[in-house]
A and B are shown apart, each in its own frame.
Chain A
Amino acid sequence: MQILTQLVFSGIALGMIYAVIAFGYQLTFATSDTLNFGQGEALMLGALVGLTLVGMGVNYWLMIPIVCVFGAIQGAVVERIGVRPALKIKSEFGWIMSTIALGIIFRNVAENVWGRDMRPFPSPLPDAPLHFLGANVRPMEILVAVGAVLMMAAVELFNRKTIWGKAVVATFNDREAARLMGINTSLVITFSYALSSISAALAGVLIAPLTLAGPNMAAQLGLKAFAVAIIGGLTSGMGIIVGGIILGVAEKLTGFYISTGYSDVPGLVLLLIVLAVRPAGLFGKTAIKKV
């Protein structure tokens, strides 16, 4: 029982990270119907930049805004190089391939800059576990979960309360109409990519103390977060948190009770099943096709 509770807690922490990356997919999908296939690499770069900054003696809490700035730039670069030309020529194949290509480039560059090894990431909190419901919970796990929720809440608040956020929502509802209303939709799309990469980069900094940081830390993360986005629906905010927790816990349980080699499988199988049965996700709305 104690082990089970413990697995559930670390599953939730992992699931919240998936939710944050899935949230990044939602942001860009909302404004441009595209998503960054290199989202996992955005997370990895965030973690490694953070690691370097801390290594240079920058205070942990000061490092976070710098990582955010880096994430914003990285996201904007992905949008400008990988997505905008494809949107111009209306090529779905184009942005899928180019965001994949950019992801590969980022990973390869990271391998050459930081080396292939996984490195420990300093934790801002003490490592001593807290006792909770009979289980040992690492303080970092709580920070990950709380940080993830706060991050998503902040973006939601931004979208609802500020004029900039309203432009994002308008672009989501009808790109053409928003453009005609004088909203610079292409800037909004760039902005959504920046925001999406910021959340991924922050997620990287959050998760790195638990998983170690290295160029390949995010190999399956992007794919599994997509599974979460699909389970939750690409348009549902609540859905991804539920989806993330389901997947995170399922993985931890599989890893412990079956074999760690299989721990990636439940997410991928869930993805296949949800897409084969209900492509709009468990929480999303099905659109009516028009002829």
Chain B
Amino acid sequence: MMKSRPLLLAAVGLVLLGLFPVLVGNPYYIHLVETISIYAILLFGLDIVVGYTGQVSLGHAGLFGIGAYAAGVVITHFPDTPFVLVPVVAIAVTALFGAVLALPALRVTGPYLAMVTLAFGTIIQILINEMDFLTNGPMGITLTKPAILGHQLDVREFFWVVAFLLVAAMLVVHRILRSHLGRAFEALRGSPVASDCMGVSVYRYKVYAFVVSAGLAGLAGSLYSYSEEYISPNTYNFELTVLFLLAIIMGGRKTRSGALLGAAIIVMLPKLLDDIVLFRYVAVIFAALVLVGAAVFTAKGRSTWQRAAVPVVGSVGLAAVSFRLSNIGDWRLAIFGLITLLVVYYLQDGIVGFVRQTLGWRGHGSSDANDAATLPAPAAAVSTSVAVAATPATQDLVAADKVLMQFGGLKALNDVDLHVSRGTIHGLIGPNGSGKSTMMNVLTGIYVPTEGTITFKGQSIVGRTSSRIALAGIARTFQNVQLFGEMTALQNVLVGLHHTYRSNLLDVALHLPRYRREDRAATARAYALLKFVGLESLAGEEARNLPYGKQRLLEIARALALNPELLLLDEPAAGLTAPDIKELVVIVRKIREHGITLILIEHHMDVVMSVCDVVTVLDFGQKIAEGTPAAVQANPQVIKAYLGGELEAPAAH
């Protein structure tokens, strides 16, 4: 029942979009809505990079320009190319440039990436200007609306082409983003390290994100060139890029409706600024809205006067200024700048996010979690390690020999041997700074050891990437929790199940049976894993909202999703309450019963002593003792390391 309402809304929207050019005959308005649609296609793509993977791209105007010029060049140099091929070529060319742009993006983030993408956009603009044998330089290219099968499209028919592609793009992007691919993008933003350790290669998915995003920009660009019937280099400038970003943050990240709204705003705003009288009205209404909003929020205690003062003063000031200026067009950019400032700080989730929050709507994350509960449970939540019976228990699952990890002059690990037998719980203890976490990072490929060998199931893993090691069967949790904060508990576990998907982009876009089958299976399995750690009631909750103890359990569930043979737990009991710790011990034992080998770093000695079969003690990067918990506990060197000084061991008395 609940689902029929959005469907109905979508149907009404589609009909309105289709009928628009018939109902409104005026070509000016048709062109306006067409431009909004084209921008929206680009913004869907930009949102993948900005909203989902969390990278700042200032290069999308450049990509848009590449798409437009790819179409323009094909049309002028090969006039016989059928129309359907032109956007395809534009998408392919732009996607290729997107991959090039992704290369530096693999190495850098934040301000560096912003500058790189800005440089990319600037280079593209220069190249378009200078390569006049291809692009006709600053003169630009004039073209006409396309023909399909010999029939010349008129303004109205071309609008339908754009509208169709808008809907198709929206559907495809929506499906990609709600699939395992979308979760991989979002995981990159939440925690790159954790993504890699869940077998989701940060490198690969960043490139994917940029390529898909660029492809959409290419499609939008090619449509834009037909729509405008004229392209010139100066359209694709820095201001357009900033405008695109403004549209995303103002409309609302991570929603398709936000992208549509953002596109509408950035197309309409310049028109609004052309009409000073209209602008005055809008500015006054806007100021009144902000004033009322601020008053309501302050009264409800959700904001303070100090916080509300800036937007109020800003919007009232804007309204006042609008009455003093006679020509607002000259101040267009300053007004865009002001709006950007206001949005960045006071409307971080965009208009759509703000409305959702105010009305208490929840995203599909929580409804998905409800659906997951109704799926039939899988045969087993935690996969039993099949190799247990096949190999003798005495064989080492992990054999690290003479591992040296050097940071400058500091030897965080100095000649450490660590042998872990299959099916055991191996404790790793030592005072702070003794090298325990470094050992974990070396085992999971986050650090490459300076010297030494590490084999897992008889194969060397030194120099392999974290994601390959994870896929080989080593899962881990983190000392300082590394969950994907904006994703629900269920989605977090689903990221761990990423390796169970074989579906490609086509399967996802068309919802082919393979994808639907895999998705159902993974969702059911993820829910069962949450049940295993006792979190099924919180499946739809965002990870960042869970209490600390539950976050640690969620990390374990997510790690188990990898079907690991070896599970590394880095201080799982840190910060847990006594009852939580008891629950944890039960879970750790249950995991071992499934044949999974564990390495446990822990400071709670009672936990270590009660569950571990073997304990290794590190101190200042060196192994000082190894043996059964009781033997280690009695070892004088261990006591010295923990208590310091020349204390004699109690055993000596």
Cα A37 to Cα B340 with chains together (Å): 14
A276 part of interface (Cβ distance < 8 Å): yes
Of A97-105, A132-140, A147-155, the segment with at least 4 beta carbons within 8 Å of chain B is A97-105
**Contact: A98 with B110, CB < 8 Å?**
no
**Contact: A276 with B114, CB < 8 Å?**
no
Cα A227 to Cα B122 with chains together (Å): 13
Cα A136 to Cα B111 with chains together (Å): 40
Tell whether A275 pairs with B107 under 8 Å between CB atoms, given A104-B239, A265-B126. yes
**Contact: A37 with B123, CB < 8 Å?**
no
Kindly list chain A residues whose C-beta atoms are within 8 Å of the C-beta of B348.
Answer: 89, 91, 94
Please tell me which one of the listed residues A89, A261, A291 contacts residue B126 in the complex, with CB atoms under 8 A apart: A261
Kindly list chain B residues whose C-beta atoms are within 8 Å of the C-beta of A104.
Answer: 239, 242, 333-334, 336-337, 340
Cα A112 to Cα B321 with chains together (Å): 14
A269 part of interface (Cβ distance < 8 Å): yes
Tell whether A223 pairs with B107 under 8 Å between CB atoms, given A85-B345, A97-B249, A279-B112. no
A272 part of interface (Cβ distance < 8 Å): yes
Nearest-CB distance from A226 to chain B (Å)?
5
Task: Output the nearest chain A residue to B343 by Cβ-Cβ distance.
Answer: A97
Please tell me which one of the listed residues A35, A108, A262, A291 contacts residue B331 in the complex, with CB atoms under 8 A apart: A108
Kindly list chain B residues whose C-beta atoms are within 8 Å of the C-beta of A289.
Answer: 446
**Contact: A101 with B344, CB < 8 Å?**
yes
Tell whether A275 pairs with B104 under 8 Å between CB atoms, given A108-B334, A259-B130. yes
Kindly list chain B residues whose C-beta atoms are within 8 Å of the C-beta of A108.
Answer: 330-334, 337
Nearest-CB distance from B276 to chain A (Å)?
15
**Contact: B340 with A111, CB < 8 Å?**
no
Kindly list chain A residues whose C-beta atoms are within 8 Å of the C-beta of B126.
Answer: 261-262, 264-265
Tell whether A268 pairs with B123 under 8 Å between CB atoms, given A104-B239, A105-B337, A105-B338. yes
On chain B, the number of residues with a Cβ less than 8 Å from chain A's Cβ atoms is 47
Q: For chain B residues 324-356, which have a beta carbon within 8 Å of chain A?
A: 330-334, 336-338, 340-341, 344-345, 348
Cα A269 to Cα B239 with chains together (Å): 21
Kindly list chain B residues whose C-beta atoms are within 8 Å of the C-beta of A46.
Answer: none
Kindly list chain A residues whose C-beta atoms are within 8 Å of the C-beta of B338.
Answer: 101, 105
**Contact: A112 with B340, CB < 8 Å?**
no
A125 part of interface (Cβ distance < 8 Å): no
Tell whether A230 pairs with B112 under 8 Å between CB atoms, given A102-B341, A104-B337, A108-B332. yes
Kindly list chain B residues whose C-beta atoms are within 8 Å of the C-beta of A107.
Answer: 333
B42 part of interface (Cβ distance < 8 Å): no
A288 part of interface (Cβ distance < 8 Å): yes
**Contact: B118 with A101, CB < 8 Å?**
no
Nearest-CB distance from B280 to chain A (Å)?
19
Kindly list chain A residues whose C-beta atoms are within 8 Å of the C-beta of B437.
Answer: 291
Nearest-CB distance from B329 to chain A (Å)?
11
* Residue ranges of B at the interface with A (Cβ–Cβ < 8 Å): 50, 54, 56, 103-104, 106-108, 110-112, 114-116, 118-120, 122-123, 126, 129-130, 193, 239, 242, 245, 249, 330-334, 336-338, 340-341, 344-345, 348, 407, 437, 441, 446, 478-479, 482
* Residue ranges of A at the interface with B (Cβ–Cβ < 8 Å): 34-35, 37, 81-82, 85-86, 89, 91-94, 96-98, 100-105, 107-109, 111-112, 220, 223, 226-227, 230, 259, 261-262, 264-265, 268-269, 271-272, 275-277, 279, 288-289, 291
| 23 pairs of residues in contact across A and B, judged by CB atoms under 8 Å | A82-B341, A85-B345, A93-B56, A94-B344, A96-B111, A97-B245, A101-B338, A101-B341, A102-B341, A105-B334, A107-B333, A108-B331, A108-B332, A223-B122, A259-B130, A262-B126, A262-B130, A268-B123, A269-B123, A275-B108, A275-B116, A291-B446, A291-B478
